[in-house]
Amino acid sequence: MKYGFGIDLGGTTVKLAFFNDEGTMLNKWEIPTVTADGGSRILPDIAASIRAHLDKLGIADSEVLGVGIGVPGPVNGKGVVNKCVNLGWGVFNIHEELGKLTGFPVKAGNDANVAALGEYWKGGGQGCENMIFATLGTGVGGGIVVDGKLVHGVHGAGGEIGHLVLNREETEPCGCGKCGCVEQYCSATGIVRMAEKHLAATDAPSSLRELFPLTCKDVFDHAAAGDAVAADILEKVYAYLGEFLADLCAVLDPEAVVLGGGVSKAGLPLLDGARRYFDKYAFHGTKGVRFELASLGNDAGAYGAFKLALSEFGA
Ligand SMILES: [Zn+2]
């Protein structure tokens, strides 16, 4: 039996998990992400935490196959991180740096891609060889698995599906600087933005008007409770989401589309709504695709990170 680590590096916490080579998560814990001094303490802190864990369990270095890590920014296949603004990081090779600090081989990927790999391996996409994972959270991220392999892309920007342009008439800018991105309509913030615009444009009575601040969950809850305006807002969201997923499926023709992130907590109404518009916009050859909810929650990144290491360094 060999072991390894899966690490999900976020802007405020680092989630670490220890696995055996059968893919069982044995332990998980968190340490704070210290972003002071250009993020220079982050990797030494991770290495120290790994070392302390092995010492505690009495596991020898020879029993460790490697370390996988998801980072919040673009990473290429050689491990070159190309600026993680949240962490204060510039350009450097994380395989080499974290490898030196831990003494173990390291494989890194972009955090959204790595979470997709986790869902593919142990979550909503289990059993698929081709899968699209879309995280509908504060923003929209994603990851794409083709023939069992994650698409990293040449610049490590593969799977940045949140920045496909859905609306060329949009005048408000997305966080990326463009206008009309998926993220502006299908993220939690995008849904609230659309709700506020919709409410301002109509005099129709709505229970949403009494809520400050309005949240994405409110829109789903009030639609479920029968508020017609909330339901109209969600129809717009579903139309954008269905069109977006139909376009992706025309390119990739996957077995499953897996939806994760905070918005996916809306559950079946979200899947059903997206499906209705998907069926309207999809190319006929892709209509058999399954829609699934992500099932690993916050652990998807750690599972995917370990899977990266297991695929690269496992027996
Ligand atoms: Zn954008």
Phi, psi of 48 (to 5 degrees): -65, -40
pLDDT at 76: 87
pLDDT at 255: 96
pLDDT at 153: 85
Ligand 1: centre distance to CA 210 (Å): 30
* Residue 198, pLDDT above cutoff 90: yes
Q: How far apart are CA 96 and CA 98, in angstroms?
A: 6
Ligand 1: centre distance to CA 161 (Å): 9
- Give the pLDDT band of residue 222 (cuts 50, 70, 90): very high
Mean per-residue pLDDT over the chain, rounded = 95
Ligand 1: centre distance to CA 186 (Å): 12
* Residue 88, pLDDT above cutoff 80: yes
Phi, psi of 106 (to 5 degrees): -125, 140
**Amino acid of residue 14:** V
Ligand 1: centre distance to CA 177 (Å): 6
Ligand 1: centre distance to CA 6 (Å): 29
Q: How far is residue 261 from each of residues 96, 186, 187, 266, 301, measured CA to CA in Å?
A: 31, 11, 9, 10, 12
pLDDT at 74: 87
Residues written for the chain: 315
Ligand 1: centre distance to CA 162 (Å): 6
Ligand 1: centre distance to CA 101 (Å): 36
pLDDT at 77: 86
Ligand 1: centre distance to CA 178 (Å): 5
What is the number of other CB atoms lying within 10 angstroms of the CB of residue 15?
A: 20
Ligand 1: centre distance to CA 184 (Å): 7
Task: Summarize pLDDT for 1-48 with one digit per residue, the tens.
Answer: 999 999 999 989 999 999 999 999 999 999 999 999 999 999 999 999
Complete DSSP assignment for 213-268:
S--HHHHHHHHHTT-HHHHHHHHHHHHHHHHHHHHHHHHH--SEEEEESGGGGG-H
Q: Which two tokens stand for residue 15?
A: 């989630």
Ligand 1: centre distance to CA 204 (Å): 31
Q: What is the mean pLDDT of residues 171-182?
A: 94
- Give the pLDDT band of residue 138 (cuts 50, 70, 90): confident
Q: What is the mean pLDDT of residues 308-313?
A: 96
Q: Which two tokens stand for residue 188?
A: 């939690």
Q: Which two tokens stand for residue 306?
A: 């370990």
Ligand 1: centre distance to CA 152 (Å): 19
* Residue 118, pLDDT above cutoff 90: yes
- Give the pLDDT band of residue 175 (cuts 50, 70, 90): confident
Q: Which two tokens stand for residue 292?
A: 């699934």
Asked if the bond preceding 213 is cis, omega within 30° of 0, the reply is yes
pLDDT at 83: 86
Q: How far apart are CA 221 and CA 124, in angstroms?
A: 24
Ligand 1: centre distance to CA 244 (Å): 14
pLDDT at 264: 95
Ligand 1: centre distance to CA 102 (Å): 36
